[in-house]
Amino acid sequence: MNNNQKRIVIAGSLFLAGLLFLAGRLIQIQLVSTESFSKHKINLIDQSVRQRTHSFTINEGRGLLLDRNGEMISAELRPAVILFPFLKGEEGAIDEVANALGKSPSLIRRSLEEHEEPFVISDEKDHITSETMDKINKLKLPGVYAHYIARNKHSEFASALLGVTGQAPEVVKKNYKDKLDKGIVSINTKIGKTGLQQAFDPFLISEGETKLIYHVDRSGSPLFGLDVKYLAPSNPFYPVSVKTTIDSELQHILEDAVDKSGIKNGGAVLLDVSNNELLGMVSRPYHTGLSKNQMVARHAPGSIFKVVTAAAAIENKDLQKGRNFDCDLGIDGKSAKHPLGTLDFTASFSQSCNRTFGMLANEMMETNDKIIDDYAEKLGLTIRSGWHGQVYHYPEFKQFPEEEQGTIWGDRYDRNQPLAVSQTAIGQKNVQVTPLSVANMMAGIARGGKMEEVKAATKILYKNGNTLLSFPNHKQEKGIEPYTAQKLQMLLRGVITDPKGTGRALQKLPYTVAGKSGTAEKGDSNTSNKWFAGYFPADQPKYALVVVDFDYTDANTTVISAYADIVNKIYKNDKEK
């Protein structure tokens, strides 16, 4: 065989190998790996259909969050007219649509030229009414449909509490493998990433979109005539709705008061004392996206924590009964920054004397070095305050999945250091609690010492309105004695009524208030954590409220002004009902 013949054989072999490779690749694409092509596991059939399909999503199929009155708060329904691009050139249809909408035909034509996918004329800009929708649908024009569309709300309303949704393929693979394998969800299905959207995601996750679709050829012209199909999930029970405890009117009151007061880093928590349900929650700063909910995160409470020390002292009556304390001194025995003179236990609480509670804590720790821990737990500050428990096959379902648990001691040796004990007793050093747990503590005291978990939702409802499941009240295992609660109620009321009390600015509100202030220093920062926590009306408690500013300076009165504003507006709201 000469060289030319060798070259021909080699060239032919390479050509044949190339053909075999291409044939093998085509077999792989067309027959073998049609549903899982390449390392990216691409479904080629699905992608092929998508390329030939134009669609408009009416509803993503995700379940809804409702307020306590059954109104949607996670999404909204908007009346809309949906136009499909194959209307281009259909002059008669364009004229009829323009006439029904009260617009010029040229405007409709221009809109169609600008879009290659179905698009919507919505109520937001064009004030579509139900009458207009009826008129459009009676025309029975192919490619023109009037329908209510559901869209997620993008607003500050209860943003940190409600949370956000988004795509997270790895989470879908991990948490919803069965649904993914059955084709109920895809890796691109949106899931709840924060807040109640995250907590109730197993129930809210979409099991199929409702959409209008049509198929096109290579030129973009519709296949199968001008037929647009309406596709919706066949399950009559889904999507479900979660009925939350949020009162939309009270939530707006909280948000307006917090923003008006100038609180940029902080927020408020409002509970219904009778059933321990969350009525409203505000967290600032607010950012679109994954905003941290400050109200379920740990923060130094300052003198709010004196409630714990006081509760322990009340049940150790001989320690504080009939005693006076030198409140011209600080917890270190040196001159106090704000001297208060000689005070008894009651006045020490209302005027927030650090010396008194530092001394009492050290005396109690001598006989029981776990006493502060015990009473912090009894008052719910170091355990999970939000509702949690068994729900179906979820053994530890949490309504507040981002909630952090409070802490007291950072170093085990602090229990034996008098100064560290004193600092801990007044809510400094390493004490960290959440605003939610503080509100829960106040609600428990207002109820006479009965501690319960806070609910943010009461029911999950099927699409037809029937109840899928309910969340019963959960009592916390520990609590304080009724006598102790009664004494704490008197102390908390004294904070307001004492002419020198730290809450005296709240004396003239239409609802009487009982509560406690707190200021926690933040190391080298020139700002501090400023709290006011309490309940009202003091004689017949209905609401427990916490307001906190984490960037407080002595020059502002953000917390007190916000607290007073909220109480005034809730009183007015109650009277108008």
pLDDT above 80 (res 115): yes
The pLDDT value recorded for residue 397 is 96
The pLDDT value recorded for residue 234 is 72
Residue 178 and residue 190: Cα distance in Å, rounded? 16
| pLDDT tens per residue, range 345-354 | 999 999 999 9
- Per-residue pLDDT band for 112 (boundaries 50, 70, 90) equals confident
- Per-residue pLDDT band for 48 (boundaries 50, 70, 90) equals very low
Residue positions counted in the chain: 577
Strand 528-536 versus strand 229-231 pairing type: unpaired
Q: Which of 55, 159, 241, 303 is catalytic?
A: 303
| pLDDT tens per residue, range 60-110 | 889 999 999 999 998 877 888 888 887 777 888 888 888 888 888 888 888
What is the pTM for the complete model shown? 0.85
Residue 517 and residue 351: Cα distance in Å, rounded? 10
| Percent residues over pLDDT 90 in the chain | 56
Q: Which amino acid is at 491?
A: L
Output DSSP code: residue 225.
Answer: T
Mean pLDDT of 317-333: 87
The pLDDT value recorded for residue 224 is 46
Across 236-250, 314-328, 410-424, 463-477, least confident range: 314-328
Task: Say which residue, 24 or 22, is predicted with more confidence.
Answer: 22
> Does the active-site annotation cover 303?
yes
Task: Say which residue, 222 or 366, is predicted with more confidence.
Answer: 366
- Per-residue pLDDT band for 288 (boundaries 50, 70, 90) equals low
The pLDDT value recorded for residue 398 is 97
Hey, what are 444's tokens? 């428990």
| pLDDT tens per residue, range 462-515 | 988 999 999 999 998 888 999 999 999 999 999 999 999 999 999 999 999 999
The pLDDT value recorded for residue 49 is 44
Mean pLDDT of 445-450: 96
Residue 110 and residue 114: Cα distance in Å, rounded? 6
The pLDDT value recorded for residue 268 is 98
Residue 100 and residue 131: Cα distance in Å, rounded? 10
Domains located in the chain, CATH noted = 248-285+294-576 (3.40.710.10)
Mean pLDDT of 268-287: 94
- Per-residue pLDDT band for 44 (boundaries 50, 70, 90) equals very low
Cis omega (within 30 of 0) for bond into 222: no
Across 168-177, 178-187, 256-265, least confident range: 178-187
The pLDDT value recorded for residue 213 is 76
Residue 263 and residue 125: Cα distance in Å, rounded? 33
Q: CA 338 from chain center: how many Å?
A: 39
| pLDDT tens per residue, range 200-224 | 999 999 888 877 777 665 555 555 4
The pLDDT value recorded for residue 118 is 84
pLDDT above 90 (res 16): no
Across 81-85, 246-250, 547-551, least confident range: 81-85
Across 123-137, 381-395, 489-503, least confident range: 123-137
Coil, helix or strand at residue 65:
strand
| Residue from 241, 200, 177 nearest 401 by CA | 200
| Residue from 190, 242, 189, 248 nearest 463 by CA | 242
The pLDDT value recorded for residue 434 is 98
Coil, helix or strand at residue 574:
helix
Residue 548 · residue 268 · CB < 8 Å: yes
Average model confidence (pLDDT) for the chain?
Answer: 87
| Percent residues over pLDDT 70 in the chain | 86
The pLDDT value recorded for residue 9 is 67
Euclidean distance between the first and the last CA atom of the chain, given in angstroms as a whole number: 105
| pLDDT tens per residue, range 306-317 | 999 999 999 887
